[in-house]
Structures are given as C-alpha cells and as structure tokens.
A and B are shown apart, each in its own frame.
Chain A
Amino acid sequence: MATKLKFNSYPRVVQSLIDSAVMIKRSSTHIIRNTDQLLGTFFQPIMFLVLFAAVFGGAIEASLPAGVSYLNFLMAGIIVQTVAFGSTTTAIAVCNDLQKGIIDRFRSLPMSNIAVLNGHVISDLFRNSISTVVMILAGLVIGFRSSANVVDWLMIAGILLLFTFAISWLAAVVGVVAKSVESVQWLTFIIIFPLTFASSAFVPTEGMTPVLKAFAENQPITHVVEAVRALILGTPIENYGWLAVAWSLGILAVAIPLATYLYSRKSA
C-alpha cells in the first residue's frame, strides 16, 4: 500500500482497446509457452502438404489443366484447410477459460467483455499466419512455384486473414457453447471436416457426384480456396475474390455478436 496508484482515465473505447491488447498479449504468451501445440502448428501443415502431394499427386495430376502441377494446385487448398482446422485451437482456448475459475476473475473486473474473446481470436491470427508462411516455405523447398506478384500476394494475405478471423470467431462460438474441451474437438471436427473435404481444396469438383458437386461449389471453403488458387496460379479469379470476402464478412456479422452475447450470458 506504500505507493500511490495511478489509474488511466481514457474514454471507454480506448480503454476497451487496451483491454483487448492486454488479452492478446496473454493469449499469445499461451501459444508460445504451449510447446506441444506450437510444434503441431509447424509440423502438421508440412506433414499434410508433403503427404497429400506425394499420395494424391500422381493420381490427380491427370485431371488438372495442362501445365498445372498438383503441388501448385494443392497449395491454396492446404493453406485454407490448415487455417480451418487451426480454428479448433481458438475454440479450445475459449472453452478452457470458461471451465476455469479465471473467467470469474475477468468478469469481476471493470474490463470490456469482448476482450477475452478478442485476445484468443487475434492471437490465433498471428499463429495461423506463421504456420501459413512456414507451409509456403516448405512448399518452395519441395517444388512449389507461383507466378503471383507482390500485389497478388497481398491480396492472398488479405483474403486469408479475413477468412481466418471469421472462422476463429465461429470457433469462439463453439468454444463458448461447448461443455468440455472434448466436445469442442468433435464439434469443430464435424463442422470443419466435411466443409474442407467436400470442397475443391484437394481435388477439382468436376469428378464429384452431382449433389456433392452442387454443395462443394457453393460453400465458403471452396470459394476462398478458388480465390487464393487463382491468385497463386495466375488464372482468372472470376467472382471468387468477392465471394470469399462476402462469406467472411457474413460469418463475422453473425459470429461476433453471437459469441459475445453467449459469453456474457454464460454462467450467469
């Protein structure tokens, strides 16, 4: 009690930004200190990339447009798949917080409600960005080549960041709703797995049955994959760029208020 304490007296908005910054720092520290998960972040995408390229490459290359290697085709798909599966981490982190006493602590503080979720979602954006870069570098090592210029890469980064942000908020909803970390795992799995595999992430949609094809061609993962792929391969992007952005914004418009609402109601 010796020293005189100094309090900030910023406007509410500024203060809630500080709250979010504090929570982002917290969640990022979690990511760095959770060594097992961090290793998974790096090695799982590389493993997927190498395995898919090696196992499916030969069989699928025949059905690709002439001159397109499967590795170059796969890159967009594997990046989006990694980001989508990576959102599980957000859901687990949110769920973990809610299971522990620390959430009562946060709730009893004069802090902004959304900051806890913001912390997890935004720190996951960093983590996903790092693993995406690692994957692209690994791809370059095993023969991935792209004709994309700097502007194309910036567009790719923009589309992916927005999509990652959206799907992490969706995962935050799952994290708030789920009753345990185990149920987070299967909940995200049954949402993400069909969406990524029934898409153009790994194979062209042409060979799919009509029903599956109709689904695959009209869902967010395919649209994001197609946009990124067009930019990587230098083919026409058609409407996929706008569709990818629209899906992400649409998901955000639902997921942010829903997650925040459910979070503030939980345990009350």
Chain B
Amino acid sequence: MGAGKLAIEVENLTKSYGKTEVLKGVSFKVERGTMLALLGPNGAGKTTTVRILSTLLSRDGGKVTVEGFDTAKDADKVRSVIGLTGQSAAVDELLTGRENLVMMGRLYRLTRQSAKKRANELLADFDLLTSADRPAKTYSGGMRRRLDLAVSLIAAPPIIFLDEPTTGLDPRSRIAMWEIIRKLMKGGTTILLTTQYLEEADQLADNIVLIDGGKVAAEGTAKQLKNQMGSDRLELVFSNKKPYRAAKNALTGMQLNENEAQLTLVVPVDNPNDDVRAVLEKLNAAKASVDSLALHKPTLDDVFLSITSKQGKGVE
C-alpha cells in the first residue's frame, strides 16, 4: 500500500465555500496505529477536514492521501480502507441493528456469511445483542452511537474517522464510548478523532492538532501542549472588593489575570516554592487577606482558550 508508516497525510489543504475560506492551508500527518485528535471550537474546520479525508467533499488545493491513496483520484480505494462515524448517527432507523450491520457489511464487499458473522461479533462487543433485532429507531442515543460506530467497523477498516463521537452523550455513555475507542486503538486501528472536548483529546489521543479559523494553531502531544503554556497558576479569591483592590495594587508588575466580578486574581508561578511565598508576603504587607487560594497545573483548556481567543472567530 506504500507510504511507509503514514496512514494519513494532509499537506496545505485548502477549501472554500463560495467566498468563505474554511480551510486555509492545513497540514498534519498520522502514523499507522496511532490516534490523532483534531481539536477546535465550532466552525474551526474539523468536520470539513474529515469530510475531505473520507471522500465526501472535494478539496480546492493541497495534498490529501489516506493509506497512500489520493482522496480525489482514488476515492474508491480510500473508501475501502476507511470507516466513518459522523456527528449524526448514520444508521437506518427502520432496520434493526443487525440488519444495519449486515447491509453495510455487504456494501463493503463482505461475503454474506462474513457479514453475518462479523455483525454478531460486533453486536456482542458493543453490548447490543439483546436489542439486535429491534428497529434502530427504538434505540437510546448511546445505543445508536454504539451501533453507528459498530457499523463503521463492520469490515474492520485499518483507518477510522470519528467525527465528534461523543457530542450530546451523557457522561456514562461517553465513558463507555471511550472504552470502546481505547480497545480499537489496542487492536492497532489508526484513528482520527475530532472533538470539542479537551478532556477527550487529553484522555485518548497520542497527538493533538489544534485547529482554529481553518489553520493549525498548535500541535503536539497533550503534554507538549500543556508545557507550551508554561507555568502553574496561583488563583487568589477575595471576600470583597477592598482586599481585592489592595492585592491588585500590591501585585502590580506581575502578569495578573484579573476578574473583579468574581473577586479573583490569577498569578502565573514558575517556581511554586519561592513565587507563592513572595506573593503571600506582598499580600501580607498590603493587608489584603485572601479568602481562598489554589495552585493549578495548566490544562488543555488553558492551551485551547489562550490559542483560540487570540485568533478570533472561525466560520462553519
């Protein structure tokens, strides 16, 4: 199949709808057997990227290959190595779970026996065996998503696209979905996941590409991205405006993050031991008594917010 270790290669990908530029030169690579999370706010271009990768949409410029096949020139070859789980659960509501699986298996070119056998296996794996012969319209949201994912795995494709697989799910179903995704990764499937949930990317992905406004804003492992944010943060909460203002004056010169409405000040600290003491001594001198204080490690949220807020709003 060529292309060495790379399952997906996207280079300088561009796409516009009319005059609206949705993708302005996106590049990333996904190695075989790894998971990449495309993270970004609504309208960043995540879904557009997945639609181009899964041959549903044509691109304007750049290079896009999946397992070494060009998505535009070799669409059918790409289609036979991918599975797609979109934002809306794409199952046939009038067919039963089992019928959905067998039908899609046949369309993936599986033999009838193979499709049936594999359907049974997936129904068991995804905890759907008891409702296998009920129409999908009677399924709960979580069951539908599981069926949807099962359907995209029917031919065991080496590459899976998961477009916001947990959006709209309750916490328990979300965690169940994560378990399933982890199992897939263990089996060696290459996964491209899009998500708005930082926790999801943090929990699951080997690598994260943060896209915003149609461009790659940052990329790396979760750890690398958090390190980019640098220091820990000391959060100080005051009981009223008087100590809040006194503290603010006492700490001028530091990179304060102020929130007067919530009476909170956030101070970056590079060296917790010395810096926290220095802050507290300054507050003490200014007689600004603190209501509560907490030291935070940087989260992906911080990375996300600090990067996306710089870039302004994207477009859908």
Residues of A at the B interface (CB closer than 8 Å) are 1-3, 5-9, 15, 18-19, 22, 25-26, 29-30, 33-34, 100-111, 115, 267-268
Contacts and interface: CB of A to CB of B under 8 A. Distances in A.
A259 to B, nearest CB: 19
B90 A101 contact: yes
A102 B90 contact: yes
A115 B80 CA distance: 17
B215 interface: no
Interface residues of B, number: 41
Contacts of B155: 5, 7
29 contacts: A3-B118, A5-B110, A5-B155, A6-B110, A6-B111, A7-B114, A18-B106, A19-B106, A25-B103, A26-B95, A26-B103, A34-B94, A101-B86, A101-B87, A101-B88, A101-B89, A101-B90, A102-B92, A104-B51, A104-B84, A105-B91, A105-B151, A106-B107, A108-B82, A108-B84, A110-B77, A110-B79, A110-B107, A115-B107
A235 B4 CA distance: 75
B187 interface: yes
Interface of B: 51, 54-58, 76-77, 79-80, 82, 84, 86-92, 94-95, 99, 103-104, 106-111, 113-114, 117-118, 121, 135, 151-152, 155-156, 187
A111 B107 contact: yes
A26 B92 contact: yes
CB-based closest 4 A-B pairs: A101-B90, A101-B88, A105-B90, A110-B79
A22 to B, nearest CB: 5
A97 to B, nearest CB: 9
Given A26-B103, A102-B91, A7 B111 contact: yes
B117 A104 contact: no
B88 A100 contact: yes
Contacts of B77: 110
Contacts of A9: 109
Given A19-B106, A108-B82, A109-B107, 7 more contacts: A1-B156, A29-B94, A29-B99, A33-B135, A104-B84, A105-B84, A108-B54
